[in-house]
Amino acid sequence: MNTPVIRTTTALSALLFGSLALAAEAPQDPRLAEAQALIKEFAITLQGELKGAIEQGGPTQAIGMCQERAPAIAEELSARSGWEIGRVSFKTRNSDNRPDDWEQKVLGAFEARLAAGEDVMTLAFAEEVETPEGKAFRLMKAIPTGEVCLTCHGSNIAPEVVSALDERYPEDQARGYSVGEIRGAFSLLKPL
């Protein structure tokens, strides 16, 4: 059982760490490198903890771990880095991950770019924006749905997983995805 988990974990790494191609910004912009490193750290940390939970108790144990640790990892990285770090989606599992207006526009643009044939791995966007608190640099990178994601986010979820999801996330909308779809996005904001 450990071998498939390791393989799917490797596949998830490939999905999450694809190119952070941002046409509007120069590749040498240090903010992009910093944001990409934070996204990678978030994903690696969460992925490692998910892998451990799956190995210990299967997907149902991973659901509980993810509910507790994903927000904690984002908070830890945010506190250490000075960035606000999170994940958003049109179809949230955790209602705290609802996108704001800017994130909704970017997610919509990602969907349009994907429909136009762009590779999901390149779906990223960054810009400086004016916020009520002042100028900020915002960046989003799409989270593609991989085969491993379907265990908890697909259409054919095992009954015990459905039960665990229903118990922990009574308003869950993050199901019914297929491989290659945009499941959500990492969203980062840094005050300037």
Question: CA torsion angle for 118, 121, 123, 127 (degrees, to 10)?
Answer: -140
Short-list 54, 40, 46, CA closest to 5 = 54
Q: Judge whether 19 and 122 are in contact, CB under 8 Å.
A: yes
pLDDT tens digits along 6-55: 223 333 333 344 444 444 444 578 999 999 999 999 999 998 998 888 89
**CA-CA-CA-CA torsion sign (25, 31, 33, 38):** negative
Prediction pTM value = 0.83
> Side chain identity at 127, as an amino acid letter?
E
pLDDT tens digits along 152-166: 999 999 999 999 999
pLDDT tens digits along 47-99: 899 888 889 988 998 998 899 999 999 999 999 999 999 999 999 999 999 99
